[in-house]
A and B are shown apart, each in its own frame.
Chain A
Amino acid sequence: MARTFTEAAIAGIGATEFSKASGRSELQLAAECAKAACDDAGVDPRDIDGMITFTIDNSDEITLARCLGVKDLAYTTRIPGGGAAAAATIFQAMALVNAGVCKNVLIWRAMNERSQYRFGQPSTDFKGYTNGHGTGTLLWNIPFGAMTPASWGALQAQRYMWKYGLTNADLAHVCVQQRKYAATNPKAWFYQKPITVEDHQASKWIVEPVLRLLDCCQESDGGVAILVTSLDRARDLKQKPVRILGACQSIPYNVEVIANFHHADMTEMPEAKGVAKRLWEMTGLKPTDMQAAMLYDAFSPHVLLQLEGFGFCKPGEAAAFVKSGGMAIDGVLPVNTNGGLSGEAYIHGMNSMAEGVRQIRGTSVNQVTKKSVEHVLVSSGMAGAVLSKD
């Protein structure tokens, strides 16, 4: 294979149903969504030559490759940082195709994260917080009762909210909007179940005074896969190619996923600012060139922090932006139009990446129509990508 720079594109997306009890193994979910992504693209699964997942995914790549009949795997890797890996998988798949070392890169994430184990419960299994997972300081929090992502996320967000005079009620608008999107998305767990600000305020405290139940992402079973190939090849396949115009990771000094307590200014998300800087440089684009954004929403404040980190809003102004309808379908920047991880499902960010692809293709159930969708930002905080029309 000539190793010349090769433009990359997303040719296929696939998913299982999103549920609370899949009734089958994570490996099966992985195989099903991988096959679905290949079918969507019109690529034979046997021709996959690169495989990327998250370090904490439980399905083994060789076993999955065996299910798919992969003939000759050229590259495998896993990305640390929990859900922060989501957009990083797209970045690394792009880089492999750019470098001319892979033709068909499969990205997958499959989990029984409700029926088999629950990220939202206090952890008794600490191997997730040790080496290779990008979560090195979490072990230090356990004796103090900070044992869940919600508690770490709340600690991260509380100073931001205090600085800008926000209370939990100000977060409600993020959640209400995402559930509005989910309500019209038949694939969403919360299909036809919108909420009001009052519902949000009546939901129980998860972490007082920052997060209520409805500020939190779901716990879900399911799998999502994405197939990345060259732009030229994608043009000959079944779907309209979705170009990966730019993608990157950014992990600035002393930044850590979720337990992000040690960098200089806790009222901002330096990783999102770092991703934004690289992405805008790489693509020559700017926030106003995006017609939609899919922002990792483990917890509602992180949507606000990313809106500010990427430069869609000035520091402290994202809550007012959302309240005024900024992230609605006819707003300045429709965000998480699938319902996000709180409304559609929590497949560790990958389901929102797939929604970014659908917005570019023009096939979302909540398609942005006010403007022609040319560019969509997908972000998982420590990584991001700009997807574009061919």
Chain B
Amino acid sequence: MTDVAPPPDAPKPIRLPPIVTMESKEFWEAADREEFIGQKCSDCGTFRFPPQPMCAHCHSLKREDVLLSGFGTVHSWCMPRHPPPFGFREPPIVAVIQLQEGTRFVSNVVGVKIEDMRQDMEVEVCFEDTMNKHKVPVFRPRGK
């Protein structure tokens, strides 16, 4: 990701930081490094989300975090308006992203007006800052 550093007078991020659990720690730490990772079974190779200790396919406990392509499509989307969600200056577009690797991830689609949202539109990952100096993966139209 080649996001340009924000100008010095950019407003402070107000987005809420992620809630980190034992299972999600690696994911959010990778996001801070602007890496979008997923969990994969080391034995049968099945991707899973959310991260969990056991593979539902082969029951192996062996797992690895792998860098995902960051490509996906908008499977479902909406714009929460009232009450306004915490952490946003303008109402965000929330979307279920169908990832190329087969799992789904709830995130935002950025850089698009609501009237330009299209079902199954192709998107790619980028990162946005949160409070407390964390980052979260969001998605923008692919190749834009």
Proximity string of chain B (69-100) to chain A, C-beta cutoff 8 Å, 1 when within and 0 when not: 00000011111111111111001101110000
Restricting to B36-52, which residues have a CB under 8 Å from any CB of A? 49-50
Q: Are A141 and B106 in contact (CB-based, < 8 A)?
A: yes
What is the number of residues of chain A that contact chain B, defined by CB distance less than 8 Å? 38
Among residues of A, the one whose C-beta sits closest to the C-beta of B82 is: A206
Helix, strand, loop or mixed for chain B's interface? loop
| A207 contacts B by Cβ under 8 Å | yes
- Residues in B neighbouring A147, C-beta threshold 8 A: 80, 85-86
Restricting to A114-150, which residues have a CB under 8 Å from any CB of B? 120-122, 124, 126, 136-137, 139-148, 150
Q: Are B80 and A151 in contact (CB-based, < 8 A)?
A: yes
- Select which of A120, A142, A150, A205 is within 8 A of B19 by beta carbon: A142
| A70 contacts B by Cβ under 8 Å | no
Task: Looking at the assembled complex, report how far the CB atom of A302 sits from the nearest CB atom of chain B, in whole angstroms.
Answer: 15
- Select which of B21, B75, B81 is within 8 A of A205 by beta carbon: B81
Q: Are B107 and A144 in contact (CB-based, < 8 A)?
A: yes
Q: Are B92 and A144 in contact (CB-based, < 8 A)?
A: yes
Q: Are A142 and B16 in contact (CB-based, < 8 A)?
A: yes
Q: Are A155 and B78 in contact (CB-based, < 8 A)?
A: yes
Contact size range, B: 35 or more
- Residues in B neighbouring A262, C-beta threshold 8 A: 49, 103-104
| B68 contacts A by Cβ under 8 Å | no
CA distance in complex: A120, B81 (Å): 12
CA distance in complex: A388, B80 (Å): 41
CA distance in complex: A282, B107 (Å): 41
Task: Looking at the assembled complex, report how far the CB atom of A3 sits from the nearest CB atom of chain B, in whole angstroms.
Answer: 35
Q: Are A208 and B78 in contact (CB-based, < 8 A)?
A: yes
Task: Looking at the assembled complex, report how far the CB atom of A6 sits from the nearest CB atom of chain B, in whole angstroms.
Answer: 37
| A210 contacts B by Cβ under 8 Å | yes
Q: Are A158 and B85 in contact (CB-based, < 8 A)?
A: no
Task: Looking at the assembled complex, report how far the CB atom of A27 sits from the nearest CB atom of chain B, in whole angstroms.
Answer: 28
Task: Looking at the assembled complex, report how far the CB atom of B130 sits from the nearest CB atom of chain A, in whole angstroms.
Answer: 6
Q: Are A144 and B94 in contact (CB-based, < 8 A)?
A: yes
Q: Are A158 and B136 in contact (CB-based, < 8 A)?
A: no
- Residues in B neighbouring A159, C-beta threshold 8 A: 75-76, 96, 119
- Residues in A neighbouring B80, C-beta threshold 8 A: 145-148, 150-151, 154, 206-207
- Residues in A neighbouring B79, C-beta threshold 8 A: 205, 207-209
Among residues of B, the one whose C-beta sits closest to the C-beta of A151 is: B80
| B58 contacts A by Cβ under 8 Å | no
- Residues in A neighbouring B95, C-beta threshold 8 A: 155
Given contacts A143-B136, A144-B92, A261-B106, contact A158 B77 (CB under 8 A): yes
| B60 contacts A by Cβ under 8 Å | no
Restricting to A260-318, which residues have a CB under 8 Å from any CB of B? 261-262, 266
Q: Are A143 and B87 in contact (CB-based, < 8 A)?
A: yes
Among residues of A, the one whose C-beta sits closest to the C-beta of B138 is: A144
- Select which of B18, B76, B86, B138 is within 8 A of A158 by beta carbon: B76
Q: Are B94 and A156 in contact (CB-based, < 8 A)?
A: no
| B141 contacts A by Cβ under 8 Å | no
Q: List 29 A-B contacts (CB under 8 A).
A: A122-B84, A137-B106, A140-B18, A140-B24, A140-B106, A141-B94, A141-B106, A142-B18, A142-B19, A143-B16, A143-B18, A143-B130, A145-B88, A146-B85, A146-B106, A148-B80, A148-B83, A150-B80, A151-B85, A154-B80, A155-B76, A205-B81, A206-B80, A207-B78, A208-B79, A261-B96, A261-B106, A266-B75, A266-B96
5 additional contacts (CB under 8 A) given A143-B19, A151-B78, A210-B78? A139-B24, A140-B50, A145-B87, A159-B96, A162-B76
Hey, which bits of chain B sit against chain A, CB under 8 A? 15-19, 21, 24, 49-50, 56, 75-88, 91-92, 94-96, 103-108, 114, 119, 130, 136, 138
